[in-house]
C-alpha cells in the first residue's frame, strides 16, 4: 500500500486496495472544506469501497484545483448550498477548520445527508450537544475520522487478537502519539486552541476512541489530564504537549501522551505506538515505523504464554472500517462504529481538555 506524504502528518493519506461494497454509481458523496490534508485520507477510504465522489467545495480556488488534480472526475461546486440541494448526495466528508465542522455537519444532517468529519469533529461541549440533538432528530450519522485506528492495519489485527482472547482480559492500554509540527506549513488557526480545541481534543480523541474500543465500554472516566506549551511560547494559545490518565467501569486503566516533538531525522510524521496489556500477555503496536528495523509501518508484537511473535501487517489487512461505514449509511446499521461511541470519544477528549492542569 502506498502513502501520500508519509513524513508530513497533515498530508498523510493512506491508500488501500479497491474493494467495492456497492455497485458503481449507487452511493454518491461530496467533499467540503479542504483546510486539512486528512480530507485525502477520508476520500481515499470512501472511494476505495465503491462510493462515487461527485462534488468538491472550498472557498480557496487553489485548494480546489489541487483536489481536482488528484480526483479528476469531481465537479467543483459553486457553493455548499449546491451540494446540500442535490438529493443524490448521501454523504458529506469534511476537513474544514475544526471549529467550523459542527456547523457544516449540522447543515448536512438537516438536508438528509450523513456526515463524516476529520478529527476533532467538534471543539466545544456546546457544539457536541447541538450535533447530538440534530443527529438524533434527523436520524443521520455524524462520524469522526479517527485515523489512528481506521487507517492503520495493525490496530485491526490487535482488535481481532484481543477479541479472540490472545492476551486474556485487557487490563491496561498505553498510547504514545508524537506528531511532527512542521511550523512553516501550518495555518494560523493551527496554533489557536479556540479554532482546534487544544491538544487533548485534537489528538487525544484518537487515544480515547482506541481506549473505548479495546476496553469495550463507553463508561470511561478521565482521572487526570495535563497540557503544556514547552517550545512554542510565541503561540500562547497552543498546546505542544498533553497527557491523561483514564479508567473504565470494567477495570481497564489507560495512559495517553500526545506531543508535537517528532525529531526531523525520523522519516515518518510520528512514531505512534500502543501497548495493550492483558492477564495472559501483551500486544505492542508500532504503527508508522519500526525504528532500526523497518521504515514501513503496521508492526504488531505479540507475547503470551503460548507464543512470542512479530507480525508485519502492511498491505495484509486493509482498512475495513470504510466498507462497513458505507454499508451502514446504505442500510442504517452501526457495524463500523456506533454513533454513541463516536460521540463519546469526542466528549471525553473535551472533558480532558477542560479539566487539564496547565504545566508552567
CATH number at residue 122: 3.40.50.720
Show the DSSP H helices in the chain as ranges: 38-47, 61-70, 80-85, 101-110, 125-138, 147-150, 153-163, 193-196, 199-202, 204-215, 320-331, 339-355
Contact between 62 and 47 under an 8 Å Cβ cutoff? The reply is no
What pLDDT is attached to residue 17? 79
Are 97 and 187 within one domain?
A: no
Are 171 and 247 within one domain?
A: yes
What is d(CA 193, CA 99) in angstroms, rounded to the nearest whole number? Answer: 9
What is d(CA 323, CA 320) in angstroms, rounded to the nearest whole number? Answer: 6
* 44 occurs within a structural domain: yes
Show the DSSP H helices in 111-192 as ranges: 125-138, 147-150, 153-163
* 342 occurs within a structural domain: no
What pLDDT is attached to residue 148? 96
Residues 6+ apart with CB under 8 A from 350: 122, 123, 124, 125, 128, 197, 201
Are 171 and 249 within one domain?
A: yes
Within 13 Å and on the Cβ side, how many CA atoms surround 357? 10
Residue 333 grid cell? 446499521
Residue that has been written with the C-alpha cell 498523510 in this structure: 12
Are 169 and 123 within one domain?
A: no
Residues 6+ apart with CB under 8 A from 261: 178, 181, 231, 240, 241
Nearest to 120, CA basis, from 240, 216, 9, 38: 38
Are 88 and 200 within one domain?
A: no
* 135 occurs within a structural domain: yes
CA 91-92-94 angle, to 5 degrees, is 145
What pLDDT is attached to residue 22? 96
Pick the last residue of a domain from 148, 170, 194.
148
Pick the last residue of a domain from 118, 148, 178.
148
The pLDDT tens digits along the chain (360 residues) read: 334 456 554 566 677 678 999 999 999 999 999 999 999 999 999 999 999 999 999 999 999 999 999 999 999 999 999 999 999 999 999 999 999 999 999 999 999 999 999 999 999 999 999 999 999 999 999 999 999 999 999 999 999 999 999 999 999 999 999 999 999 999 999 999 999 999 999 999 999 999 999 999 999 999 999 999 999 999 999 999 999 999 999 999 999 999 999 999 999 999 999 999 999 999 999 999 999 999 999 999 999 999 999 999 999 999 999 999 999 999 999 999 999 999 999 999 999 999 999 998
Nearest to 33, CA basis, from 88, 102, 86: 102
Nearest to 107, CA basis, from 73, 140, 72: 140
What pLDDT is attached to residue 62? 97
What is d(CA 245, CA 223) in angstroms, rounded to the nearest whole number? Answer: 5
Crossing angle of the two packed helices 101-110 and 125-138, in degrees rounded to 10: 10
Are 73 and 171 within one domain?
A: no
* 127 occurs within a structural domain: yes
* 327 occurs within a structural domain: no
CATH number assigned to the domain comprising residue 201: 3.30.360.10
Residues 6+ apart with CB under 8 A from 284: 273, 274, 275, 276, 300, 301
* 328 occurs within a structural domain: no
Are 140 and 126 within one domain?
A: yes
Are 208 and 97 within one domain?
A: no
* 272 occurs within a structural domain: yes
Q: How many domains does the chain have?
A: 2
Pick the last residue of a domain from 148, 167, 200.
148
Are 18 and 144 within one domain?
A: yes
What is d(CA 82, CA 155) in angstroms, rounded to the nearest whole number? Answer: 38
Are 182 and 33 within one domain?
A: no
* 57 occurs within a structural domain: yes
Are 31 and 95 within one domain?
A: yes
Number of other CB atoms surrounding residue 113 within 10 Å: 23
Nearest to 348, CA basis, from 238, 212, 233: 212
Range of the structural domain that residue 303 is part of: 149-319+350-359
Contact between 91 and 66 under an 8 Å Cβ cutoff? The reply is no
Contact between 205 and 345 under an 8 Å Cβ cutoff? The reply is yes
What pLDDT is attached to residue 2? 38
The number of residues in the chain equals 360
Contact between 145 and 37 under an 8 Å Cβ cutoff? The reply is no
Are 108 and 239 within one domain?
A: no
Amino acid at each position: 500500500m502506498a502513502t501520500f506524504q508519509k513524513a508530513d502528518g497533515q498530508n498523510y493519506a493512506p491508500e488501500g486496495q479497491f474493494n467495492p461494497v456497492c455497485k458503481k454509481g449507487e452511493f454518491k458523496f461530496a467533499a467540503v472544506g479542504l483546510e486539512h490534508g486528512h480530507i485525502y485520507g477520508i476520500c481515499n477510504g470512501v472511494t476505495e469501497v465503491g462510493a462515487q465522489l461527485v462534488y468538491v467545495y472550498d472557498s480557496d480556488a487553489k485548494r480546489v484545483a489541487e483536489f481536482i488534480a488528484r480526483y479528476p472526475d469531481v465537479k467543483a461546486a459553486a457553493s455548499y448550498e449546491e451540494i446540500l440541494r442535490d438529493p443524490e448526495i448521501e454523504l458529506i466528508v469534511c476537513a474544514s477548520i475544526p471549529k467550523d465542522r459542527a456547523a457544516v455537519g449540522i447543515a448536512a444532517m438537516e438536508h438528509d445527508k450523513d456526515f463524516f468529519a476529520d478529527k476533532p469533529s467538534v471543539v466545544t461541549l456546546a457544539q457536541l450537544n447541538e450535533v447530538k440533538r440534530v443527529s438524533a432528530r434527523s436520524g443521520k450519522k455524524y462520524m469522526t475520522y479517527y485515523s489512528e485506528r481506521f487507517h492503520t492495519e495493525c490496530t485491526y489485527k490487535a482488535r481481532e487478537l484481543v477479541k479472540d482472547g490472545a492476551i486474556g482480559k485487557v487490563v491496561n492500554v498505553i498510547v504514545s502519539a508524537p506528531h511532527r509540527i512542521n511550523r512553516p506549513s501550518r495555518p494560523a488557526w493551527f496554533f489557536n486552541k479556540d479554532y482546534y480545541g487544544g491538544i487533548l481534543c485534537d489528538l487525544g480523541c484518537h487515544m480515547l476512541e482506541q481506549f473505548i474500543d479495546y476496553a469495550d465500554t463507553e463508561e470511561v472516566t478521565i482521572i487526570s489530564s495535563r497540557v503544556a506549551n514547552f517550545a512554542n511560547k510565541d503561540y500562547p494559545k497552543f498546546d505542544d504537549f498533553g497527557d491523561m490518565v483514564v479508567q473504565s467501569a470494567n477495570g481497564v486503566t489507560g495512559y495517553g501522551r500526545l506531543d508535537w516533538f517528532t525529531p526531523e531525522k525520523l522519516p515518518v510524521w510520528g512514531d505512534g505506538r500502543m501497548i495493550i496489556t492483558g492477564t495472559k500477555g501483551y500486544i505492542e503496536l508500532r504503527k508508522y515505523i519500526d525504528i532500526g528495523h523497518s521504515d514501513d509501518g503496521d508492526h504488531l508484537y505479540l507475547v503470551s504464554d503460548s507464543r512470542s511473535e512479530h507480525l508485519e501487517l502492511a498491505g495484509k489487512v486493509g482498512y475495513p472500517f470504510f466498507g462497513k461505514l458505507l454499508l451502514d449509511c446504505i442500510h442504517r446499521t452501526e457495524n463500523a462504529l456506533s454513533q454513541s461511541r463516536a460521540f463519546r470519544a469526542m466528549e471525553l477528549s473535551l472533558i480532558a481538555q477542560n479539566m487539564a492542569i496547565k504545566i508552567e
